[in-house]
């Protein structure tokens, strides 16, 4: 039996309608920009909202599809996904559909799914949200994702940590692979230079944390850690980039006020991705305090910038950063302060860890991510049709 599409070239559809976060948008752009035409895929059809499609390159093999519902409410977006996408993909002649968000309601088959969201799976994170709309939404997402994982012909993960955590919930999956994110080239230019003598030059030590405020991001604990360091006589400041809203932002603002942090804490709202490299050029130490990630893009960007990193010891962070940083418990301000303090105390260790992190970041490329992703989609499809 000759698999359908083998002679004419495979036609792949991508449902990127739920790519709303910065990491998900960067992922789609990265794999499209680095697409290798030698993989034997004749056409790639992408469904997404208009501004995301406008940011994709024009290529003879790339076809962009937009529907007005994708610019409307979440309910209307999900209605389009559940009732219209399958019909459109079949009309175009897609052989396989790649869902970049596992919480898909589209019943197209065969389907390949990417796992990008671990919030519903990480032990302890659900308990940070009180019973209410947010927690109910996460419970529903978990069940929808598990259904998608089990009916897919292949599931892609960003880290080994995510692969194990998801399968502990949904059961063992027969066909899986890893395809970690890449890092944009703009971040691969190292920061201007490591300051070697913090206590001698008299300038404040600048710590930077890039992430919107949320309960699993623990910005308030970082603020408390900086207060502890300043109480020890260490001149250190904190820049928080990413903004945020709701109760997590209220807790952060209240903590800054209680710690007297208005004079040494700078909060910047959400910045364009293109503006972040310049911000990191002003950092001395990169802090990452999240307790739940699939693959932390901002951590990769700090690594690529060759910054000394103080990092959470939770989730996939040790898998990603390896020996390239000082680790801490993100729930413990004293642990965070001690980690940052070790970086401050040793110029040689700062340089060693920054160099190690930078070298590890070199292994995370969009070309590798794109090749792994589309090769897995192709191979999963042909494996599927040969068994039918």
Helix-, strand-, coil-residue percentages of the chain, each rounded to 5: 45, 15, 40
- The two structure tokens encoding residue 32: 């499209």
What confidence score (pLDDT) does residue 5 get?
Answer: 45
Q: Cα–Cα distance between 154 and 93 in angstroms, integer? A: 20
Question: CB count, 10 Å around CB of 368?
Answer: 15
Q: Are 142 and 126 in contact (CB under 8 A)?
A: no
- The two structure tokens encoding residue 274: 């293109």
What confidence score (pLDDT) does residue 21 get?
Answer: 78
Mean pLDDT split into 10-residue runs, the chain, 388 residues: 53 92 87 93 96 94 95 92 95 96 93 92 75 77 94 96 95 96 91 67 87 94 98 95 90 97 93 89 95 93 96 96 97 98 93 95 96 97 90
What confidence score (pLDDT) does residue 221 get?
Answer: 98
Q: Which residue has the tokens 């940011």?
A: 55
What confidence score (pLDDT) does residue 7 get?
Answer: 41
Picking from 26, 78, 77, 80, the residue whose alpha carbon sits closest to that of residue 52 is 26
What confidence score (pLDDT) does residue 201 get?
Answer: 60
- Please give the C-alpha separations between residue 237 and each of 108, 243, 283, in angstroms, as whole numbers: 51, 17, 10
Domains along the chain with CATH numbers: 10-182+365-382 (3.40.50.2000), 185-361 (3.40.50.2000)
Q: What is the DSSP letter of 127?
A: G
Q: What is the pTM of this model?
A: 0.90
């Amino acid at each position: 039996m000759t698999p359908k599409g083998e002679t004419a070239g495979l036609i792949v559809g991508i449902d990127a309608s739920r790519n709303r976060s910065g990491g998900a948008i960067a992922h789609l752009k990265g794999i499209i920009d680095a697409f290798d035409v030698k993989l034997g895929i004749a056409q790639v059809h992408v469904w997404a909202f208009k501004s995301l499609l406008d940011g994709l390159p024009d290529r003879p093999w790339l076809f962009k599809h937009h529907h007005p519902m994708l610019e409307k409410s979440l309910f209307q977006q999900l209605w389009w996904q559940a009732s219209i996408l399958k019909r459109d993909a079949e009309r175009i002649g897609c052989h396989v559909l790649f869902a970049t968000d596992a919480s898909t309601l589209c019943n197209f088959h065969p389907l390949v799914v990417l796992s990008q969201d671990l919030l519903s799976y990480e032990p302890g994170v659900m308990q940070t949200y009180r019973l209410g709309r947010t927690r109910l939404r996460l419970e529903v997402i978990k069940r929808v994702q598990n259904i998608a994982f089990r009916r897919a012909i292949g599931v892609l993960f960003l880290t080994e940590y995510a692969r194990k955590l998801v399968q502990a919930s949904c059961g063992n999956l027969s066909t899986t692979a890893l395809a970690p994110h890449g890092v944009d080239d703009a971040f691969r230019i190292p920061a201007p230079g490591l300051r070697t003598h913090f206590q001698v030059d008299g300038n404040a030590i600048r710590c930077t944390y890039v992430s919107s405020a949320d309960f699993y991001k623990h910005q308030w604990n970082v603020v408390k850690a900086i207060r502890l360091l300043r109480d020890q006589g260490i001149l250190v400041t904190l820049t928080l980039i990413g903004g945020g809203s709701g109760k997590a932002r209220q807790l952060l603002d209240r903590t800054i006020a209680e710690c007297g942090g208005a004079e040494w804490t700078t909060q910047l709202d959400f910045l364009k991705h293109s503006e972040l490299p310049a911000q990191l050029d002003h950092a001395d130490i990169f802090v990452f305090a999240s307790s739940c990630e699939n693959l932390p893009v901002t951590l990769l960007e700090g690594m690529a910038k060759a910054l000394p990193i103080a990092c959470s010891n939770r989730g996939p962070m040790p898998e990603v950063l390896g020996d390239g940083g000082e680790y801490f418990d993100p729930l413990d301000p004293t642990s965070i302060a001690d980690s940052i303090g070790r970086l401050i105390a040793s110029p040689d260790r700062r340089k060693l860890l920054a160099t190690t992190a930078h070298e590890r970041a070199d292994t995370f490329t969009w070309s590798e991510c794109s090749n792994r992703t589309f090769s897995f989609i192709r191979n999963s499809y042909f494996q599927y049709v040969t068994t039918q």
